[in-house]
Each structure stands twice: as C-alpha cells, then as structure tokens.
C-alpha cells in the first residue's frame, strides 16, 4: 500500500515542470487560500478531463522522529489506512476503489503525503475520508502489531534483499555524520521491532494537524468548489500547538569515505560519488538553481559530458550521469554515478570520471553548455501542466519544504537566470573529493 519516496523523485518532478504557463509567467496558475485553522489549500484547475487529484502533505518526515524511534513516520503512514471513528479498518482503500479511484501514500525525510485520483464528482467523498483520518484516527494493538510485521517484511523485501538499497543506506550514514538524514526512512530494523501503539499515537497527535499540512487539489475543479468542500470537511478540525521542528546540524567533514560492498545478487558493478550540497532552503542556497544546471550539463543524459566521454567516446561505461536533490528542508545531495562496460576495472572507470570532473573544476563548463542545458530543462513544463499528478506533487513538495508558491511557479525563470559564472562557482563550492563518499558495488562469485 504505502511506498517510500526515493531521493531522485524531487529532481525528476522539478525537471518535469519547465516553461511558464502562457500569459501569466507561472507554470500552473495555482491559487491558494488558508482556512481559519491554518490549513493551506492550493487549487490547480485543469479541465481537460473530468478527473481530480487530492493530495494532503504533512510537514513531518523521518528526520523529525524521536531518537531511537526510526521508522515511526513511515509506520504511521501505514496506520493511517487502518481505520477511523467513522470508517473501519480496510474500508478507506476499498471505498476509493469501488468509486473508480486509486490512492497511495509516501514518506520522505521531510514530509508525508497521501493522495487519491478520482472522478471529479467523487472529490467530496475522498475529501471527507481524508479529513476523517486527519482528525479521528483509531489505532490500537489489534491493528498496530500486525502492521508492524508488514513494515518489517517491507524492509526485508525492499532493503535487505536489495544490494543497491543496502549500499545506499550505508552511503547516507557515511555522508551525514550527525543529521537525521543519515537514518533510513523505513527505519533501522532493530528499532522497528520496538515501535508500538503509543509511539504511533504520540507522533500522530504531535504532527498531524491542519496547521501542519498543505492540501493540494488539481483537475476538473474550481477554486470556489474546493473552498466550499475544504471548509465543510477540514474547516471544523481544530488547529494544534506544534513543537519547533528542530534538527541537529552537521559537523565539518574532514575526511573522505569509501564504501565497497560485494554481493552474489549483483549482476554488474556500479560506482558513485556523493557530496553534501545546499538545498533551496539551507546552506549556500544561492547555488541551488545553478547546481541543477550543472547536473544537467555534466550528467543529464546522452548529450551530457559524462555520457559522451565515458560511454560514447571511450567505451568505458554502460551508463553515466549525475543526481541532485535541491528540494530538502536541510542539506541536499549532489553526485555522479557510472556502470562500467564488461571487463572494465572500477579503478579505470573511476579515474576517467575524476578526469572529467577535474576539467569542470579547472576549466569550467562553457556558456554554450549552460544555455543548452537550460533549453532542455525548461520546455518540459508543457507536459507537466497537462498532468494531474505533476503539478500537485511539485507544489505540495515545495510548500512542505519551505518554499513559497511564487518560487515554485516561477522555477523556469530562475533556471533561465542562471549564468555561466553561477554554474562554475556552484561546482567549485560543492565538489570536494577529500570529503566525498565514494561507493562501489561489486558482484561476488558464488563459487
């Protein structure tokens, strides 16, 4: 039912919303208002089909968990489907399905989200159901203990049996020395075993309140219609005193780390290098847009530097690229990855990547590369505008991590304003191999 949102989700969504909507300078022409209880509501009208998406975003994630309780944010996401005073366990998903809709949820380090896609005339129904579990969740040992076995099995299936996921877990733990981003969203297994009803109820009563949430409704709706439904169903839920959202900071990194993992389940080796980076909200955030352009220039596809050099020119790699997550409440992560061609040693591949990155730091990228990258990034918003989920996800994610609606709407203009000097300065600011985390995943012979 529930799923964990990957680090790369943010970048994929952002790159899916490039140019501004015609005549307004905005991507989505979203309108927003706030209820008396503090719930922010955003409406994106799209009348191409009689469908609506409701997404509720709570400003809490795994990085807000109490010490020793890793996994409770994701566990509560599961338990939100286990019944309310009005709707018995299992009925939520069944009712949505019976009405031709689909629904799911996701947990990240910074937020937790729930969504339903339904026919527009069923928005009233799903808004009632979602408001019920914001206010009236009912959980006890009868539902909590079996669901705990579900999340433990999810960890075994998705993490413990997946060498790439296991190594990524270790990379985060090495990259973040102190900040809770070092903990897995699903939780460390030994702590997951100890999560109970009291832990879930405390987390729910602390964070799940209208004044700690953003409601985004997109599709064949009107602002007036959404306002009336929101006032009817969410309006009566009282606001709640919220604790300060405090996270520990990171001490200075003074050493690089290298992780090597071997597994018989690995089909082909992989290599990556990760760096701590600013986000939209934290650190040297003036570089956030430039780092997106840098990621596109160096590793954004088959025309980017790494792919051209390692795959097309030298034939050393099967693929190569970059990753960057700017949409975090605290630190971002920036880096490179590559998969060697059969018979190519990891050391040779690594040396080739390092040579390309050294060129970036020594000579800089070119003005032509920057302009091409921006032109590739911006036009994709035409497709995002036509989608229901795309605008709702981008807006909800941005608002849940501290950005304003205006910043989100004008993303293409911010990308367009990035200069060559910005990109080169961002590269020099972030790329420091003496504090990076390098990860190598290798096949291990079974005999």
Signed CA dihedral, 119, 122, 128, 133: sign only: negative
* Residues counted in the chain: 447
Q: Are 409 and 270 in the same domain?
A: yes
- Predicted confidence at residue 162, as pLDDT, reads 96
Q: Are 10 and 156 in the same domain?
A: yes
Kindly give the pairing relationship between strand 112-119 and strand 102-107.
Answer: antiparallel
Q: Is 65 a catalytic residue?
A: no
- On whether residue 267 sits in a domain, the answer given is yes
Q: Are 30 and 149 in the same domain?
A: yes
- Predicted confidence at residue 446, as pLDDT, reads 52
- Predicted confidence at residue 11, as pLDDT, reads 38
| Predicted TM-score (pTM) above 0.85 | yes
Q: How far apart are CA 270 and CA 317, in angstroms?
A: 10
Domain count, the chain: 2
In the numeric block, the tokens 């689909």 are attached to: 102
- On whether residue 21 sits in a domain, the answer given is yes
- Predicted confidence at residue 17, as pLDDT, reads 39
Q: Are 262 and 225 in the same domain?
A: no
Domain membership of residue 399 as a residue range: 257-443
CA dihedral 17, 21, 24, 28 (to 10 degrees): -60
Q: Are 201 and 54 in the same domain?
A: yes
Q: What are phi and psi of 240, to 5 degrees?
A: -140, 145
- Predicted confidence at residue 27, as pLDDT, reads 83
List, for residues 189-230, the tens digit of each pLDDT value: 999 999 999 999 999 999 999 999 999 999 999 999 999 999
- The CA–CA distances, whole Å, from 71 to 185, 190, 191 equal 6, 10, 8
**For residue 27, what are its two tokens?**
């991507």
- On whether residue 247 sits in a domain, the answer given is no
Q: Are 313 and 402 in the same domain?
A: yes
- Predicted confidence at residue 388, as pLDDT, reads 77
Nearest Cα neighbor of 292 from 378, 392, 353 is: 378
> For the chain, which residues score pLDDT lower than 70?
1-25, 380-386, 446-447
- On whether residue 17 sits in a domain, the answer given is yes
Q: How far apart are CA 116 and CA 122, in angstroms?
A: 10
- Predicted confidence at residue 381, as pLDDT, reads 61
Residue in 65, 77, 147, 296 annotated catalytic: 77
Nearest Cα neighbor of 395 from 60, 78, 113 is: 113
- Predicted confidence at residue 389, as pLDDT, reads 83
Q: Are 46 and 179 in the same domain?
A: yes
- On whether residue 242 sits in a domain, the answer given is no
């Amino acid at each position: 039912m529930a799923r964990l949102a990957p680090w790369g989700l943010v970048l994929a969504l952002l790159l899916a919303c490039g140019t501004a909507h015609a005549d307004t300078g905005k991507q989505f022409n979203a309108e927003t208002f706030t209820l008396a209880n503090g719930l922010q509501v955003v409406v994106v009208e799209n009348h191409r089909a009689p469908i609506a998406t409701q997404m509720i975003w709570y400003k809490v994630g795994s990085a807000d968990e109490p010490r020793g309780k890793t996994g409770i944010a994701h566990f509560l996401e599961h338990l939100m489907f286990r019944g309310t005073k009005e709707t018995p366990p299992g009925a939520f998903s069944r009712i949505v399905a019976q009405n031709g809709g689909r629904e799911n949820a996701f947990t990240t380090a910074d937020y937790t989200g729930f969504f339903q896609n339904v026919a527009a005339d069923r928005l009233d129904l799903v808004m009632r159901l979602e408001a019920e579990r914001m206010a009236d969740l009912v959980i006890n040992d009868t539902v909590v203990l079996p669901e705990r076995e579900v999340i433990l099995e999810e960890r075994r299936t998705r993490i413990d049996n997946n060498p790439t996921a296991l190594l990524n877990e270790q990379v985060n733990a090495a990259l973040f020395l102190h900040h809770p981003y070092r903990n897995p969203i699903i939780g460390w297994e030994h702590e997951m075993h100890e999560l109970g009803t009291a832990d879930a109820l405390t987390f729910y009563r602390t964070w799940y309140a209208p004044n700690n949430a953003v409601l985004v409704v997109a599709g064949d709706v009107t602002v007036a219609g959404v306002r009336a439904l929101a006032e009817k169903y969410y309006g009566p839920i009282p606001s709640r005193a919220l604790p300060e959202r405090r996270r520990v900071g990171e001490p200075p990194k003074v050493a690089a780390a290298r992780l090597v993992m071997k597994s018989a389940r690995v089909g082909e080796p992989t290599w990556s290098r990760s760096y701590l980076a600013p986000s939209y909200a934290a650190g040297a955030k003036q570089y956030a847009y430039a780092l997106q352009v840098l990621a596109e220039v160096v590793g954004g596809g088959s025309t980017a530097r790494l792919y051209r050099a390692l795959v097309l020119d030298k034939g050393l790699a099967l693929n190569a690229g970059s990753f960057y997550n700017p949409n975090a409440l605290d630190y971002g992560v920036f880096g490179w990855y590559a998969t060697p061609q059969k018979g190519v040693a990891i050391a040779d591949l690594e040396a080739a990547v390092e040579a390309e990155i050294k060129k970036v730091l020594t000579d800089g990228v070119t003005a032509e590369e920057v302009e091409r990258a921006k032109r590739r990034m911006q036009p994709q918003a035409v497709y995002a505008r036509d989608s229901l989920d795309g605008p709702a996800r981008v807006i909800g994610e941005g608002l849940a991590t501290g950005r304003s609606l205006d910043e989100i709407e004008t993303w293409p203009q911010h990308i367009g304003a990035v200069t060559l000097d910005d990109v080169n300065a961002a590269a020099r600011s972030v790329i420091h191999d003496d504090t990076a985390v390098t990860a190598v995943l290798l096949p291990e012979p079974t005999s």
